Amino acid sequence: MPGQNKSAASPLRILFIINPKSGHGGEKNLKHLISEQSESGEFDYQVIVLSGDDKERISEKLNQYKPDIVAAAGGDGTINLIAGILANTRIPLAIIPMGSANGMAKELHIPSKIESAFEILIKGKTQEIDLIKINERICIHLADVGLNARVVKRFENDVKRGILTYAKHLFGEMFLLKKYVFNITYDGKTIRRKGVSMTFANASQYGTGAVINPKGILDDGKFELVIIKPFPRIKLLSITWKMFMNKLHTSDYVEIISCDKAVVMSSRRTTLQVDGEVLGKVKEISIESMHKALIVIVP
């Protein structure tokens, strides 16, 4: 069992948290799998199905049930919710990808097939990873302001999901490309940069497979500020190609800064998204690394 020393008389306690509204569904299949696998006696379990305002309900269940593992079934937004609750508790988080992108699951090499992810939950190993605190909000994967955040906002309001829908909104935003001036304070100095977007990256890649942060390491105590500078529209395909080839750092229109704490002031209010959830418009962003604040179960 991942990081546990449970006796045969004391089976592993797993709290499953399922988001029925996540990307491709699968709630029914997962519940059947949980019931079937638990019959072996390897684990005891309880299930919470998310319904809206769930944070307090989950915290109460953690105190009552005292699980050895919390398994979150959903997309990056669901993983973000549970990671925020489990931060610094030393309770391992298992991810069962059921979202439309599943960026964090891909980052941790957790397969998209529910049965395979379930096997990792039982037989995987534990790994400590960093989190980022952004304006007092937990981020486990990627957050940004500017271009991509506006694309995410469009994506949220679309009834369709998937990479093609995301690409449609990306190209739509290209014709409304906004430029910002960012004053960035880190490591005791302040610099000024123009950009169309800035990513606050704990991880390296989006769920689409596009690598925004080639320097991303999940447990180094640092995060990266990835600044996309203003670029001619004709360069969009070149920049996109570099992202999918893991060569974005070679672009003349990209600057990457590693740090453990930073404050960013934008010249105007801009949309902020964290792990796929749009939080509204901001001018000031405070970012801080939380070193090895979360334990996850990986292959």
- Measured CA to CA, the distance from residue 125 to residue 296 in angstroms comes to 8
Tracing tokens 């941790």 back to the chain, one arrives at 108
Contact 208, 101 (CB under 8 A): yes
Buried residues in 124-134 as b, exposed as e (16+ CB within 10 A): bebbebbbbbb
Please choose, from the candidates 76, 94, 96, the residue with its C-alpha nearest in 3D space to the C-alpha of residue 140.
76
Tokens describing residue 188: 């005791």
- Is CATH 3.40.50.10330 the classification given to domain 12-123? yes
Residue type at 145 in one-letter notation = V
Asked if residue 3 has pLDDT above 70, the reply is no
How far, in Å, CA of 70 to CA of 93, rounded? Answer: 5
Helix (H, G, I), strand (E, B), or coil: what is residue 121?
helix
What is the pLDDT, as a whole number, of residue 42? Answer: 78
Q: Can you give the pLDDT at residue 189? A: 95
The whole-number pLDDT of residue 231 equals: 85
Contact 180, 283 (CB under 8 A): no
Sequence-distant (6+) residues with CB within 8 A of 183 are 190, 191, 192, 264, 265
- The matching CATH number, chosen from 1.10.10.60, 3.40.50.1220, 2.60.200.40, 1.10.1740.10, for 137-291 is 2.60.200.40
CATH code 3.40.50.10330 region(s) in the chain: 12-123
Query: How many angstroms separate the CA atoms of 58 and 49, rounded?
Result: 10
Q: Residue range 138-146: average pLDDT?
A: 91
CATH 2.60.200.40 positions along the chain are: 137-291
For all residues of the chain together, what is the average pLDDT?
85
Instruction: Note the pLDDT tens digit of each residue in 54-112.
Output: 888 999 999 999 999 999 999 888 999 999 999 999 999 999 998 877 889 999 999 98
User: Which residue type does 97 have?
Assistant: P
Pinpoint the alpha helices (H) of the chain.
27-38, 55-65, 76-86, 103-107, 114-123, 147-156, 163-174, 236-244
Mean per-residue pLDDT, 32-38: 82
Tens digit of each residue's pLDDT (9 = 90 or more) over 250-280: 999 999 999 999 999 999 998 898 987 888 8
Distance of CA 97 to the CA centre of its chain: 12
CA distances, 36 to each of 12, 27, 96, 122 (Å): 15, 14, 16, 14
